[in-house]
Structure 1
Amino acid sequence: MTSVPMQNLSRREALRACTACLYAGGVGEAAGDARFLLLGILGLETRDLLIEGDRLVGADEAVALEAALARRLAGEPVARILGAWEFWGLPFRLGPDTLVPRPDTEILVEVALAAVPDRRAPLRCLDLGTGTGCILTALLSEMPQACGVGLDRSEGALRVARDNAAANGLGERANFVVGDWCDAVEGTFDLVVANPPYIAHDVIATLDREVRAHDPATALDGGVDGLDAYRRILDGAGARLASGGTLVLEIGYDQAAAVQDLARVAGYRERGLARDLAGHDRVLSFDRPGGLFSGHRDA
């Protein structure tokens, strides 16, 4: 437990106390984490702090908030404590078999949408290693006539993804399948997207405690050189791409050249490289030979 009791503090006072507690505990983003925890644990919106900031924290709320602070001080990420996180402006529940959706991955969604000339076309999307389903759900939220399949090896992740799609009103247009990359699906898709495991095996032990202790290893481990998943995807995605379809991949900051080489050998044509807000290489997109994306879907 924290050394700062939260009961009988106002919401504003509790926010200041949480910030001070996390700062004293060496948490780098103390102010932001304190705000997320207070709002999430108490079920508040930012406006509630503005309008009813003088309202006292109740006994049960104090216990929950103190427990959340203790978990954060022990190194557990805020998103794991809350059990949910936002991506593309949409809420997503987390599970032990899923990664926390990251802002950098929104670049992948942007690149995929930019490849679509008509977002109202009845396109088909395939999300490989879907996790929380955040990428597929975000894409379907922007393409009202599209449908998609989320593929993952983890049944636990798929249960979370299915619930997330339904909670965001997209369950009828999203299907989730257990499988290993492209092996479990048939037919063709206009968009194939993936944020696969891309951390080299020996590097995982050097990652921040918050990542290595709380993220599922199978969603991080990309093999000896970090490229195992890309080899599998590039080997199978060609048969799953419709005529003129586009493949969009998130990559590690230092993997662009290696993935470009793998794709070139496999016969793909590169569309472009996108960088994240920090200026790091983040997303590669590819065409198959035969023309640019046309919005056409194979029968």
Structure 2
Amino acid sequence: MAGEVWTIGKLLKWTEDYFTKAGLDTPRLDGEVLLCHVLKKERIHLYVHFDQPLTKEELAQYKACIKERVQHKPVAHIVGHKEFMGLDFKVNEATLIPRPDTEILVEAVISRLKTGQEGVGTIADIGTGSGAICLSLLNYLPNLKAVTVDISPEAIEVAKENAELLGLSDRVEFCQGDMLEPIKDRRFTAIISNPPYIPEGDIAGLEPDVRDFEPISALVAGPDGLDFYRRLVAGAGNMIADDGFLALEIGINQAKALEALGQEHGWGRCEIVKDLAGIDRVVILWKQK
């Protein structure tokens, strides 16, 4: 790159080709997000100012980002944040990066918590990570309150910062500990979780972006991927108020196992919500009346 005049358009085309050869799945998008990060601009700026040349300092910063990305470091970790449910969340190596699939969980919970136009009550978010799930719920349901739990104090610090940035700190409580244990004597309108659900044997086959950079403790759940579901389904029933529910994001082909666990532990109706690809993505277990 040294010695040449690099415009936004020329740099993006070069990056797209380079990332494609490196085997990255979304080469153009990755380049745009990284360049926006360096320039501190929105993506629309790249198209309106296609012929804008970059300074030496900007090129140096961008080159550093390129080096990290071709080593499969996730874009969200390089830029330090990720969009989710129309909101911006800080993320780092201590937290799982929020994914579009999890928006299905949040949307399903919102629709079931609404009373008129505003959700009421208090929910618990187990394994909160960056706080993306519970803070999105609080943002869109202004009468809702939340209690979150995570075993990682580093993740809790990230979630607290996100709550502060979104102006939601006064409606959320953070607890450090293992699953339901820190809140076992409390009752909630609903309990929500996107727990680890990948079987141990599948870890080697994950994309390096995930396997090598995201916290394994937020991904793996025993030989069959159901370890955390068993604990949640067995323990959450007495913690949920009448007419309340347990909402869980699930992996592929896990819905039937969750439905069976619900029956085994005395839950009532089981709803299975599909994602946009028609894959079972969320299980909602309603408390037996």
Q: Same fold (TM over 0.5)?
A: yes
1:163 Cα offset (Å) = 0.5
Q: Is the 8 A contact 1:129 1:196 kept in 2?
A: yes
Aligned alpha-carbon RMSD (Å): 1.6
TM-score, normalising length: structure 2: 0.94
- The 3 A distance-change label for structure 1 pair 175 and 7 is farther
- The 3 A distance-change label for structure 1 pair 68 and 247 is same
Which of 139, 142, 153 is equivalent to 2:140? 142
5+ residue gaps, structure 2: none
Q: Distance in 2 between matches of 1:7 and 1:234?
A: 60
Structure scoring higher RCO (CA < 8 A, sep ≥ 6) equals 1
Q: Distance in 1 between matches of 2:228 and 2:109?
A: 19
Q: Secondary structure at the match of 1:130?
A: coil
Match of 2:104 in 1: 107
Q: What is the one-letter code of the residue matched to 2:216?
A: A
| Pair 1:179-2:181 in alignment | no
Q: Which moved more, 1:15-24 or 1:65-74?
A: 15-24
Match of 2:61 in 1: 64
Q: Is the 8 A contact 2:122 2:189 kept in 1?
A: yes
- The 3 A distance-change label for structure 1 pair 38 and 269 is same
Q: Secondary structure at the match of 1:273?
A: strand
1:40 Cα offset (Å) = 2.0
Match of 1:9 in 2: 6
Match of 1:297 in 2: none
1:260 Cα offset (Å) = 0.9
How many residue pairs get matched? 287
Q: Percent identity?
A: 35
1:160-194 superposed Cα distances (whole Å, 9 cap, x missing partner): 01111111111111111101111101321112100
1:218 Cα offset (Å) = 0.4
TM-score, normalising length: structure 1: 0.91
Q: Which moved more, 1:15-24 or 1:258-267?
A: 15-24
1:121 Cα offset (Å) = 4.4
Q: What is the one-letter code of the residue matched to 2:10?
A: E
1:98 Cα offset (Å) = 0.7
Match of 2:245 in 1: 246
Q: Distance in 1 between matches of 2:24 and 2:114?
A: 44
Q: Distance in 2 between matches of 1:5 and 1:15?
A: 16
5+ residue gaps, structure 1: 291-299
Q: Distance in 1 between matches of 2:106 and 2:172?
A: 16
Match of 1:163 in 2: 161
Q: What is the one-letter code of the residue matched to 1:239?
A: N
Q: Distance in 1 between matches of 2:79 and 2:66?
A: 11
Match of 1:294 in 2: none
1:6 Cα offset (Å) = 9.0
Match of 2:47 in 1: 50
1:11 Cα offset (Å) = 2.0
* 1:184-223 matches, cutoff 5 A: 184-185=182-183, 186-223=185-222
1:34-67 superposed Cα distances (whole Å, 9 cap, x missing partner): 1111112321102322333333212221111111
Q: Distance in 1 between matches of 2:14 and 2:198?
A: 37
Match of 1:120 in 2: 118
